[in-house]
Amino acid sequence: MNPTATESREQTIGALSAGERFLLVTHEHPDGDALGSLLSMAMILRGLGKDVVAFIAADDLPLSYEYDWLDVSEVVTQVPDDADERVVVFLDCGNTERSPLVDEAATPEQVLNIDHHHDNTRFGSIDYVVEDASSTAEIVWDLARGLGAPLTPAIAEALYLGLITDTGRFMYPNATARSHEMATELLAAGIDGNLIFRRVYENLPEAKLHLFARALTATERYLDGRLTLSVLSNDDFEQCEAPASYTEGIVDFLRAVDGTRVAALIRETTDEHGESYRISMRSSDGEIDVSKIARAGGGGGHPAAAGFKSELSRGDLIELLCTQISEQS
């Protein structure tokens, strides 16, 4: 029988208290919640006297400008040789395919899987998946309480980052009374909330504005406007001199367009397998579960925010989105 959430919480706190050496990891191309939960957990455990290694793949560093104020000086980009002897803690990582550790030989004895994705594949020896938590940061905040760990300003800043990014600055339905209670506690710990908002959402490089302009100008509507999407090509990125990470936020504009039920940003990407597309989706009112659509395309995510990668042609991809949306509405 699956343990209850309370049992999983107690088991997780027990394992974090008992462990001495840890390896912390998160998903590839880490977003605010991935970074916030990873770095806060590292600081919390170090504060309890543990030996902690936090890993981010070399490809994902340096961090994009929104996150470049975070202290990653102690983060490692190589899986340590003694990984097998460490308790591995996955944070905000719905499945092991999204983890850079999957390519490594490490077969740790104990894996703690701490996450809030409902489609988490429950790959850990302890799975603590809190589906109604706004963010993994919210789960880490609660675990810190359970561990009796003090909230230093640096821990509170990292947690606040995870909270504000995964709740869309407290706008999405996942921002509950508990999320606001967490915000109250973090602000009371002495952080400058406004400064964090400005670091993350302002200081825009001008190239990002140009990329937004292209994406918004190229907006297309399907299904009588229920699907609003935009496509960015490799050429768009080149001409704007913008990296892929500058797309962050575009899909939120598309979602806000009147009549939209699903918004999608489709961007071309080139890797060792050639050209493909990355699709980022948002549901406007929560009625259409975009994680179902993402799973149909081989990806995953949350009901209101999900994504996948596809080798379909642009036309076939849009047809897939239309078919999937029609099936749900």
Residue selected from 22, 160, 246, 308 as contacting ligand 5GP according to rule CB under 6 A? 308
Do the Cβ atoms of 159 and 142 come closer than 8 Å? no
Residues of span 152-181 touching ligand 5GP by CB under 6 A: none
Q: Shortest distance, CB of residue 14 to ligand 5GP, whole angstroms? A: 27
Q: Using the rule CB under 6 A, is 247 a contact of ligand 5GP?
A: no
Instruction: Please state the closest distance from residue 194 (CB atom) to ligand 5GP, in A.
Output: 24
**Residue 292 in the binding site for ligand 5GP (CB under 6 A):** no
How are strands ordered across the β-sheet holding 300-301? 220-222, 227-232, 262-271, 274-283, 305-310, 300-301
Note the helical H segments in the chain. Answer: 5-18, 32-47, 136-147, 153-166, 177-188, 193-201, 206-217, 234-240, 250-255, 290-296, 314-328
Q: Contact, 72 vs 65, CB < 8 A?
A: no
Span 79-138, contacts to ligand 5GP by CB under 6 A: 94-95, 98
**307 near ligand 5GP, rule: CB under 6 A:** yes
Closest to ligand 5GP by CB, 178 vs 309, is 309
Listed ranges 6-14, 136-144, 185-193, 248-256: which one lies at the site for Mn ion (CB under 5 A): 136-144
Residue located via tokens 């952080």: 191
The closest of 198, 199, 173, 196 to 183, measured between CA atoms, is 196
Residue with Cβ nearer ligand 5GP (15 or 293): 293
19 binds, among ligand 5GP, Mn ion, none (CB under 5 to 8 A by kind): none
Q: Does 301 help bind ligand 5GP (rule: CB under 6 A)? A: yes
Task: Report the SS3 class of residue 192.
Answer: coil
| The pair of three-digit structure tokens given for residue 23, joined into one six-digit string | 């390896």
Is the Cβ of residue 138 or residue 236 nearer to Mn ion in the bound state?
A: 138
CA distances, 88 to each of 53, 55, 94, 144 (Å): 10, 10, 15, 17
CB 118 → ligand 5GP: shortest distance, Å? Answer: 10
Q: Please give the residue ranges that form the binding site for Mn ion (CB under 5 A).
A: 33, 92, 135-136, 166
Contacts with ligand 5GP, residue ranges (CB under 6 A): 94-95, 98, 280, 299-302, 305-309
